[in-house]
Amino acid sequence: MASHFLEGEINNARPEEAAFHIIPVPLESSVSYGGGTAEGPAAIVEASTQLELWDGKSVPANNGIHTSASVDCSGDISKTLDRIEDAVTYAVECEAMPLVLGGEHTVTLGALRALKQKYPKFGVVQFDAHADLRNSYEGSLYSHACVMRRAADDLGLPIFQIGVRALCTEEVEYRKANDIPHLDARELFLKGIPKHLLPSDFPDRIYITFDVDGLDPSVIRATGTPVPGGIGWHEALTLLEAAVQDRELIGADVVELAPMDGDRASDFASAQLAYLIMGLKPAS
């Protein structure tokens, strides 16, 4: 297995010299349907060895990519979140953009906690089939189904949701009560991408969390809860570009890949997605 992102094409840059820190987090503690997310980060790193350095617009790798050791996900979930927070904090101290590879979606909370220490005000742009706004799920406040609720309630972060198409009643009511802006999959299909994607009062700094089930299963099938009617590949790229327009990208994650035997396409698409997100960050 590859030991670092784009192995064979580039060296693993020194942490203090890299524009990007890839942080693998093989967490799988609260999956509720299909399993396998613990294998997601390694599969993405392995698939990255087949990427072209030119992403269609630039060569993000020229700015330096450091792949850190995988975060230890053993023991209590609170300890894992602390370790994620430490890894992301280190990336920020190195003046690099953290890009976390999950693992289940809960990993996002550790990254957001770290960034909140550096940037008191920023927003989260969430690509997802699910709202992840439950207060608790299967007895846990830290389930993958609750990560955006924790971001909003515990950290006070504004959220913009894209591609959602599976919600419970609690999430619908929470959205309404808290005026959570969103562009759900059905509206996206019917009306297309608006000229101005994010609300005018959304923070200038943003974090992108991309659950791969936000994409249609025809693009990425290997995920725990695939939902039909998702975002297409080029639609996703256009939405990503619209999200960062006139805004500063301070971090990102790609989560919920659950590799399947014989499905290299999902692994490769996830790796390409991670690399394209790096390309959204202008060279400093």
Q: Per the confidence metrics, is the pTM higher than 0.95?
A: yes
pLDDT at 282: 85
Which residues lie below 8 Å from residue 20, measured CB to CB, with a gap of 6+? 60, 63, 64, 65, 66, 96, 97, 98, 99, 278, 281
Low-confidence ranges of the chain (pLDDT < 70): 30-35, 284
What is Dmax (Cα atoms) for the chain?
50
Count the neighbouring beta carbons within 10 Å of the beta carbon of residue 54: 11
pLDDT at 30: 54
pLDDT at 87: 98
CB 259 within 8 A of CB 43: yes
CB 61 within 8 A of CB 49: no
Provide the phi-psi class of 36: left if phi over 0, else alpha when psi is between -120 and 50, else beta: left
Instruction: State how far Cα 46 lies from the chain centre.
Output: 18
Task: Return d(Cα 45, Cα 185) in angstroms, integer.
Answer: 29
Residue 32's closest CA among 147, 121, 153?
A: 147
Task: Return d(Cα 163, Cα 186) in angstroms, integer.
Answer: 8
Beta bridge partners of 223: 257
The CATH number of 15-278, from 3.40.50.300, 3.40.800.10, 3.30.565.10, 3.40.50.720, is 3.40.800.10
pLDDT at 266: 98
Task: Return d(Cα 235, Cα 241) in angstroms, integer.
Answer: 10
Residue 121 has what DSSP assignment? Answer: S
- Condensed to tens digits (0 to 9), the pLDDT of residues 110-133 reads 999 999 999 999 999 999 999 999
Taking CA 108 as the corner, what is the angle to CA 136 and CA 207, rounded to the nearest 5 degrees?
125
Chain mean pLDDT for the chain: 95
Burial 184-212 (b: 16+ CB within 10 A, else e): bbeebeeeeeeeebbeeebbebbbbbbbb
Task: Return d(Cα 21, Cα 87) in angstroms, integer.
Answer: 9
